Structure 1
Amino acid sequence: MQSSYQTIAKGNYWLRNVRLETGFEYYNKDVIQTKTNLFCIEIEEGKIKSVKPNDPNSKAIDAKGKLMLPAFKDMHIHLDKTLYGLPCQALSPKRKSVKDMIAYEQEIIPELLKTSVERAEQLIDLLQNYGTHFVRTHFNIDPTSGLKSLENLEKALENKKDSFKAELVAFPQHGVYYTKSASLMEEVVKLESVSFIGGLDPLSIDGNIEKVMDFTVQLALDHHKGIDIHLHETGESGMKTINYLIDKAIENPELQGKTFVSHAFALAYLNTQEAEEIAERLAVAKVGIASSVPLRGKIMPIPALKKHGVNVLIGNDNVQDYWSTFGSGNMLQKANLIAELYGYESELELSRALGFATQNILPLNEKGEYQWPKSGDDANIVLVDASCSAEAVSRMSNVEALMNEGNLFWKN
Structure 2
Amino acid sequence: MKFLLQDVRMETSFLTENNFTYGTATKNVTIAVENGIITDIFEKNHAINSSGYTIVNGQNALILPQLREMHIHFDKSKLGLPWSPIEPAKNRVERFTKEFSYLEKAPLDFSNRMKNLINLELDSGVTHFRSHIDIHPLVGQRYLEAAQEVLINYQDKLDYELVAFPQHGLILSNAYGEMKNALQNGANLVGGVDPISIDNNLEQSLNQTFNLATEFDVPIDYHLHERGDAARKAFNKIVTLTEETKWQDKVTISHAYGLRDLDSMERAELLSRLADNQITIISSIPLNFVIPPLTELKKAGVKTLIGCDNIYDCWSPFGNGDVIDKLNRYAEIFDLTSQKDLTESLELVTGKKIITPSGWLKIGMPASFTLVNASSTAEFVARKVPVAASYFKGNKVK
Residue identity in the other structure for 1:218: N
**Structure 1 position 310 matched with structure 2 position 302:** yes
- What's the CA shift for 1:261? 1.2
Aligned equivalent of 1:290: 282
Query: Where in structure 1 do 4 or more consecutive aligned residues deviate above 4 Å?
Result: 55-59
Aligned equivalent of 1:268: 260
Aligned equivalent of 1:213: 206
TM-score when scaled to structure 2? Answer: 0.94
- Residue correspondence of structure 1 range 234-253 to structure 2 within 5 A: 234-253=227-246
- What's the CA shift for 1:112? 3.9
Give the counterpart of 1:380 among 355, 368, 371.
368
Aligned equivalents of 2:38 and 2:127: distance in 1? 16
Contact 2:189–2:220 (CA<8 Å) still a contact in 1?
A: yes
Aligned equivalents of 1:54 and 1:123: distance in 2? 39
Aligned equivalent of 1:143: 137
Q: Secondary structure at the match of 1:202?
A: coil
Distance 1:100 1:295, change over 3 A: farther
Contact 2:257–2:291 (CA<8 Å) still a contact in 1?
A: no
Residue identity in the other structure for 1:100: E
Q: Secondary structure at the match of 2:389?
A: strand
Give the counterpart of 2:69 among 71, 74, 80.
74
- What's the CA shift for 1:194? 1.4
Aligned equivalents of 2:164 and 2:103: distance in 1? 16
Contact 1:109–1:144 (CA<8 Å) still a contact in 2?
A: no
Give the counterpart of 1:364 among 355, 363, 370.
355
The C-alpha deviation readout for 1:333-371, integer Å capped at 9, x for no partner, is 122111111111111111111111212x13313xxx451
Aligned equivalents of 1:45 and 1:363: distance in 2? 25
Aligned equivalents of 1:319 and 1:280: distance in 2? 33
Q: Secondary structure at the match of 2:314?
A: coil
**Structure 1 position 395 matched with structure 2 position 383:** yes
Distance 1:223 1:335, change over 3 A: same
Q: Secondary structure at the match of 1:225?
A: coil
Q: Identity across aligned pairs (percent)?
A: 34
**Structure 1 position 17 matched with structure 2 position 10:** no
Q: Secondary structure at the match of 1:262?
A: strand
- What's the CA shift for 1:143? 2.3
Aligned equivalents of 1:22 and 1:63: distance in 2? 18
- Residue correspondence of structure 1 range 188-227 to structure 2 within 5 A: 188-191=182-185, 193-227=186-220
The C-alpha deviation readout for 1:248-292, integer Å capped at 9, x for no partner, is 111111x11111111111012223323211101111222221211
Aligned equivalents of 1:370 and 1:388: distance in 2? 18
- Residue correspondence of structure 1 range 348-359 to structure 2 within 5 A: 348-359=340-351
Contact 2:78–2:113 (CA<8 Å) still a contact in 1?
A: yes
Contact 1:316–1:327 (CA<8 Å) still a contact in 2?
A: yes
Aligned equivalents of 2:239 and 2:118: distance in 1? 33
Residue identity in the other structure for 2:254: S
Contact 2:347–2:354 (CA<8 Å) still a contact in 1?
A: no
**Structure 1 position 407 matched with structure 2 position 391:** no
- What's the CA shift for 1:199? 0.9
Give the counterpart of 2:55 among 53, 60, 83.
60
Aligned equivalents of 1:356 and 1:112: distance in 2? 34
Greater shift, 255-264 or 31-40, is seen at: 31-40
TM-score when scaled to structure 1? Answer: 0.91
Aligned equivalents of 2:147 and 2:71: distance in 1? 15
Q: Secondary structure at the match of 2:86?
A: coil
- What's the CA shift for 1:114? 6.1
Q: Secondary structure at the match of 1:63?
A: strand
**Structure 1 position 331 matched with structure 2 position 323:** yes
Q: Which runs of 5+ in 2 are unaligned?
A: none
Q: Which runs of 5+ in 1 are unaligned?
A: 1-10
* Corresponding pairs, count: 393
Aligned equivalents of 1:321 and 1:114: distance in 2? 13
Q: Secondary structure at the match of 2:59?
A: coil
**Structure 1 position 45 matched with structure 2 position 35:** yes
Larger RCO: Structure 1 or Structure 2 (Cα < 8 Å, ≥ 6 residues apart)?
1
Aligned equivalents of 1:177 and 1:97: distance in 2? 17
- What's the CA shift for 1:168? 0.9
Distance 1:370 1:26, change over 3 A: farther
- Residue correspondence of structure 1 range 81-92 to structure 2 within 5 A: 81-92=76-87
The C-alpha deviation readout for 1:16-73, integer Å capped at 9, x for no partner, is 1212223221111331111224321111222212221346997711111221111101
Aligned equivalents of 1:113 and 1:20: distance in 2? 47
Distance 1:340 1:295, change over 3 A: closer
Aligned equivalents of 1:277 and 1:88: distance in 2? 46
Residue identity in the other structure for 1:20: M
Residue identity in the other structure for 1:123: L
Residue identity in the other structure for 1:377: M
